[in-house]
Chains A and B, each alone.
Chain A
Amino acid sequence: STSSVLSTDKDKSAASKDSTPEGVSKGQEDGAETPKQQLLDIIGSMKVEVSYRKKLQQLKASESKKQALKKLEGPDSEGSVPQGATEDTQRGKALNPELVKAASAVASSLPRNKKQTESELLAQLRRHEETTDKQKKGGTINLRNVISEMTVKRQTPAQRVAMLSGRLSLQVDEDGQRIRPERSSAQSIDSRSLKVGKRLNIFTKASREPEHALKTVSSPTIWDLEFAKEVAAVTAQPPRNGFEEMIQWTKEGILWEYPIDNEVGMEDDAEFHEHIFLEKHLEGFPKEGPIRHFMELVICGLSKNPYLSVKQKVEHIEWFQKYFEEKKELLQEI
């Protein structure tokens, strides 16, 4: 169907262009070909499969044709439309010759001023092409601003080796070796700070209202908790295999986590000296006498105890302090 349309366009354009070249040939004084010649070349070169050379020729032909049209439109039509069209043509944009032919055919079919309609249609086509090209190039985002901030990072071979070794060590070690790649990423961020430079307006700022709305809601009620529990109970599918069963047991606490950690549930942040040197807690006691002797033995025993936390040891000593203070009257009698 497209081929038939083209053939009809060819006929119509041939008919319409007969009228235009008459005006052009009078005004044309350059060394360029006449529009009729250009058109005939295009028609002759138009095939289903057009080679690259032919396409280039077409582009050049269409460009020169546009210049001719511009000269046509200049004396003929008035208004802002052709001026915009001339500005477009000055940019040297190439329109698809088939589209041009179609536009001319449509213009010829309409009863009004053929040349004006044709120029308007061509202007529209040019604008379409321009926008599509712009989007293809990414001009709407204006990449120049984005790229201006970026610089080519030159890595020394030593840095590269360090990065590779860091990646390798990530796979091998699991404890403590992840600090290295984190450090390097932090350093790279510091050297080029994030808040410097012109705003690119790529992302729109999300409104803050929903956050406030969420905060005003009170802490989850009992009904919410019950609902959450119900949902969890409904969605919890029975385990499909032994692995999932073991996972479930681990979550419930029936099964220990492997490799077995001997210090599960025991969070002792205190250093060894806080466990052993407990004399500073003995300040409330008399410096001499059997009580002091007794308390020193207590402290000796506590320092050797690896199973109690520092808090528990301190609690023991404080209890003794309270007990002896209560028994002070009894002690005075002795």
Chain B
Amino acid sequence: MAAGALSWALRAARQVLPSPCPRQVRSYYVDWRMLRDVKRRKMAYEYADERLRINAIRKNSILPRELQEAADKEIAALPRDSCPARIHNRCVMTSRPRGVKRRWRLSRIVFRHFADHAQMSGVQRAMW
């Protein structure tokens, strides 16, 4: 039990691969949900081609229906995390699932914090 928890802890603390960058690199994700999201993104990238091809067979009016049904079964057999629909854009800094602006990948609170401290290039307080 303790060993299992330890192993999980180690896996959560994902070490970045040795890179030539000498400065400090973030070696932990904000929380487990962020980690799971990262895993889903990686898997979706791996299976993207296969999903595309099988879907091309499925969403087809030319090929026979039996073939399309076989393709349905195949795509369902793929791992669940390979589906891109399961990816959720969380805040990069705080892992907040809601209120995330896509352009900056930040939640509204973090965005406001950085913008007020003049750390967002080209962002200004609106006044008109």
* Interface Cβ pair total, 8 Å cutoff: 35
Q: Contact: A294 with B66, CB < 8 Å?
A: no
User: In the complex, which residues of chain B have a beta carbon less than 8 angstroms from the beta carbon of A331?
Assistant: 64, 67
Knowing A236-B22, A252-B21, A330-B66 are in contact, say whether A323-B53 is a contact too (CB < 8 A): yes
Which of B19, B60, B67 is most buried by chain A, counting CB atoms within 10 A of its CB?
Answer: B67
Q: Contact: B62 with A316, CB < 8 Å?
A: no
Q: Contact: A327 with B67, CB < 8 Å?
A: yes
Q: Contact: B21 with A294, CB < 8 Å?
A: no
User: In the complex, which residues of chain B have a beta carbon less than 8 angstroms from the beta carbon of A333?
Assistant: 66
Q: What is the CB-to-nearest-CB distance from A204 to chain B, in angstroms, rounded to a whole number? A: 42
Q: Contact: B70 with A330, CB < 8 Å?
A: yes
**Residue from B20, B49, B62, B64 within 8 A of A297 (CB atoms):** B62
Q: Contact: B22 with A320, CB < 8 Å?
A: no
Which of B21, B22, B57, B62 is most buried by chain A, counting CB atoms within 10 A of its CB?
Answer: B62
In the bound complex, how far is the Cα of B60 from the Cα of A294, in angstroms? Answer: 8
In the bound complex, how far is the Cα of B50 from the Cα of A113, in angstroms? Answer: 111
Interface string of A113-138 (1 = CB under 8 A from B): 00000000000000000000000000
Per DSSP, are chain A's interface residues mostly helix, strand or loop, or mixed? helix
Q: Contact: A298 with B56, CB < 8 Å?
A: yes
Q: What is the CB-to-nearest-CB distance from B126 to chain A, in angstroms, rounded to a whole number? A: 30
User: In the complex, which residues of chain A have a beta carbon less than 8 angstroms from the beta carbon of B22?
Assistant: 233, 236
A223 in the interface (beta carbon within 8 A): no
Q: What is the CB-to-nearest-CB distance from A267 to chain B, in angstroms, rounded to a whole number? A: 20
User: In the complex, which residues of chain A have a beta carbon less than 8 angstroms from the beta carbon of B56?
Assistant: 298
Interface string of B38-59 (1 = CB under 8 A from A): 0000000000011001001100
B17 in the interface (beta carbon within 8 A): no
A291 in the interface (beta carbon within 8 A): yes
Q: Contact: B70 with A294, CB < 8 Å?
A: no
**Residue from B20, B49, B53, B62 within 8 A of A293 (CB atoms):** B62
Q: Contact: A330 with B67, CB < 8 Å?
A: yes
User: In the complex, which residues of chain A have a beta carbon less than 8 angstroms from the beta carbon of B21?
Assistant: 252
In the bound complex, how far is the Cα of B19 from the Cα of A315, in angstroms? Answer: 31
Q: Contact: B64 with A320, CB < 8 Å?
A: no
Q: Contact: A334 with B63, CB < 8 Å?
A: no
Q: Contact: A327 with B64, CB < 8 Å?
A: no
Among B3-57, those with CB < 8 Å from A are 19-22, 49-50, 53, 56-57
7 further interface pairs, Cβ-Cβ under 8 Å (given A252-B19, A334-B66): A293-B62, A294-B60, A297-B62, A323-B53, A327-B70, A331-B64, A334-B64
20 A–B contacts from the bound complex (CB under 8 Å): A236-B22, A252-B20, A252-B21, A290-B62, A290-B63, A290-B64, A294-B57, A294-B60, A294-B63, A298-B56, A319-B49, A319-B50, A319-B53, A323-B53, A327-B67, A330-B66, A330-B67, A330-B70, A331-B64, A331-B67
| Interface set of B (CB-CB < 8 Å, partner A) | 19-22, 49-50, 53, 56-57, 60, 62-64, 66-67, 70
> What 8 pairs between A and B have smallest CB-CB spacing?
A290-B62, A294-B62, A293-B62, A252-B21, A334-B64, A290-B63, A294-B63, A319-B53
